[in-house]
Amino acid sequence: MIFFILGLLLIYFDKFYFIEYMFFFFNSCMVLYVILLDWMSLMFISFVFLISSMILLYSMEYMNYDYNKSRFLLLMNFFIMFMVFLIISPNLISILLGWDGLGMVSFCLVIFYQNKKSYSSGLVTVILNRLGDLFIIMSMIWMLNFGSWNFILINYYMNLNYLFFISLMIMIASLTKSAQIPFSSWLPLAMAAPTPVSSLVHSSTLVTAGIYLMIRFNEIFLTFSFLNYLMVISCLTMLMSGLNAIFEFDLKKIIAFSTLSQMSFMFMILCLGKIDMCFFYLLMHALFKSMMFLSSGILILNMNNNQDIRKMGGLIDYLPFCGLIFMFTLMSLCGFPFFCSFYSKDLIFEYFLMMNLNFFFFFFFLFSFLLTFFYSIRVIYYLLMMNFSMFNYLMIIKFESKILIISMMFISFIMLFFGSFFMWLMFYKFDLILLEFKFKILSVLILFFSIWFFFELNNFLFSMSYMISLFNIFFFGLMWNLLFFKVNFFLNNFLSFGFFTLKVFEIGWIEYNFNSGLIFFLKKMIGFSQNIFLNSYKVYILLFFLWFLIILLFNY
Amino acid sequence: MSYIPYEIITHKRQVCSLYKKACRTVEDWYHYRPLMRINIVRLRKRFDDNKNIIDVPAAQELLKKGQHELWSNQHYYPHQFPSSPGGTAFDRDCFPPDWVLDSWHPLEKAQYPKYFAKREERKKEYIALWEKRWGKPFIPHDEH
């Protein structure tokens, strides 16, 4: 709350504070820890603290029967700490501290349940995150050319053409963290973590770190031409995740795919240059996504750990509060009027329509909007509207305890009523939007079309296996075959390559012939030459005889 | 595929398991429950039609055809029960076995002196109990 009020003050006075804390001073070398406090970081910190406190309250009840409760709480606190490190630092080294810590702790949290499945998915998560760290380290090395790691200073004082490599590296790093298309396989796999963790990861901490970094570096990015490529990547990710969410049956994975599509949506806005809107949508997304995960956690707990939405159904009779909040979050994901994300999403939508982009972007944007509506309607249908399956009558425990409800109540209250409040706070300069009537009403049209589309196609798509050829369904259902980034991929390629090199180079014939063989050969040769240099008479006599032979042979 | 069959499965059991797997696949594909039920009934009808075939090669041919049909209609995301192998909550709580405590470092053991002293006593008691019940274990001593 304090951070929020401070952030408001800083918006009002349009200032930012730059605090340098000196660790020690040695040989005219200062070791500094720099803290940047502006309205953006303070607002983000306040949101992170709000959501994480509610999630900790929730997990006190949710993880009550777990055996490693204290470890869980400790790891969560570490996670939040590293996120705060990342948010407040303008310095690339201290960003790396937070960035790396997030990757490590996320690994520990994904493998919290110590079975094989979560271990393999945790490995994928940590390897792809390390890839991002690598790119950050590379950009740090390139920054040595400029004499400072404080990118904010560099933003202002350097010629931007020198910064191409830095921005490329940081773009790739944020792509890995926000799970855009070549690196997107870890995000649904990280669903092996307990539900409060995935709530924290997907709403405000891990995946938003990439976008936050991009927002921080915006002044470099917006000048370069590879924004077009970034936009194509985000478009494809949006399409891929939307299609996958339609074909997916795991409840948590569907929500993960929706996070992925919203992330790429934010990237798209960033590429269009609307940084404020991107940030605003980031915050709103954090609110409703955390709520979505928390309510799905209660659903899963009540279904006795079953996450398959085919086996749920008719839950509105059993868990009315939780189902209601789940429906609200899905509605605000779609941008339903007067919910929190309506104010950002609708604004962005209208800006996008005003932008005069080409047909490719326009089509994909609208199509992924449709897909967003489509999968949220699908989840509502499967969870709340579909008639019962026997499974939940057998399994239901009906567990909605007070702490769970209180922890969800607070954020959902903000989510429902405070969207306009935040919008008036952030956008005090109004922009004029001029649109035709049909464009203005386009989003509503898409909504109705997707509802019709869903009920029309439901039986067709999900029931009739003969209508769509199997290959296509496998292709869409398994993430466009991007899941080859699994553990098997690393095992089959890299580790077997390592074994091959060990077999051939280290203990094989190459070692025998070249490395130790070479030493053996050199030893022999050196001994021989040493014998020559000993000035013994036999050598001279030998040379004499050789010379004599040559004379005899060639002296005709 | 070369593998050693460790069990001979009878024809009847193969047909039954084929029927069960087919039912599960139908459940995966059809989520609207009446639709699912009627498809399972149709499936049952197909099985019942060929119930009384006495000709063994023909029956085996039918079984093979059925298995191929099952394979070609498999679901891309089959439902797995959460606490059975392959499910999400399988092996969720893992308990380290008791002998892990024996592999602790002496320094670590020294932090809980009382417990480990008692543990040594208990181990001796257990060995005595075991030997009383089963006799001394046969340890082949090295003659070379």
Question: What is the full DSSP assignment across A176-237?
Answer: HHTT-GGGTTHHHHGGGS-HHHHHHHHHTSHHHHHHHHHHHTHHHHTTSTTHHHHHHHHHHH
Write out the two tokens for A454. 């869903």
Nearest CA in chain B to A466: B73
Cβ contact, residue pair A66, B93, below 8 Å: yes
**Comparing C-alpha atoms, which of A49, A13, A47 is closest to residue A418?**
A47
Nearest Cα residue in chain B from A68? B93
Report percent pLDDT > 90 for chain A: 8
Kindly report, residue by residue over A336-360, the tens digit of the pLDDT: 888 888 888 888 888 888 877 788 8
Give pLDDT, residue B13. 92
- Residue A501 Cα, gap to closest chain B Cα (Å): 29
Quote the ipTM score: 0.77
Distance CA A256, CA A259 (A): 5
Residue A395 — pLDDT band, cuts 50, 70, 90?
low
- Give the residue on B whose Cα is nearest the Cα of A69: B93
Choose among B31, B81, B83: nearest Cβ to A462: B31
Q: What does the DSSP assignment read for A295-328?
A: HHHHHHHHTTT--BGGG---GGGT-HHHHHHHHH
Q: Is residue A313 over pLDDT 50?
A: yes
The whole-model pTM stands at 0.82
Q: With b meaning 16 or more CB within 10 Å and e meaning fewer, what string describes A184-194?
A: bbbbbbbbbbb
Q: pLDDT tens-digit profile of B31-83?
A: 777 888 898 999 999 999 998 888 999 999 999 999 999 988 877 778 888 88
Parse chain A into domains and list their residue ranges.
1-469, 507-555
Which candidate in A68, A119, A195, A249 is best for mutational testing of the B interface (most B CBs within 10 A)? A249
The predicted model gives A36-57 an average pLDDT of 86
- Summarize pLDDT for A361-371 with one digit per residue, the tens: 888 888 888 88
Which residue from B minimizes the CA distance to A300? B82
Contacts of A471 in chain B (CB under 8 A): none
CB contact under 8 A, A304 and B82: yes
A66 contact residues in B (CB cutoff 8 A): 93
Residue A152's pLDDT band (boundaries 50, 70, 90)?
Answer: low
Contact B35 A459 (CB under 8 A): yes
Distance between CA atoms of A118 and A194, rounded to whole angstroms?
A: 10
Please count the residue pairs, one from chain A and one from chain B, whose beta carbons lie less than 8 angstroms apart.
Answer: 66
Q: Do A305 and B33 touch (CB under 8 A)?
A: no
pLDDT of residue A364: 84
A463 CA: distance to closest CA in chain B (Å): 5
Structure-block tokens of residue A217: 């570096």
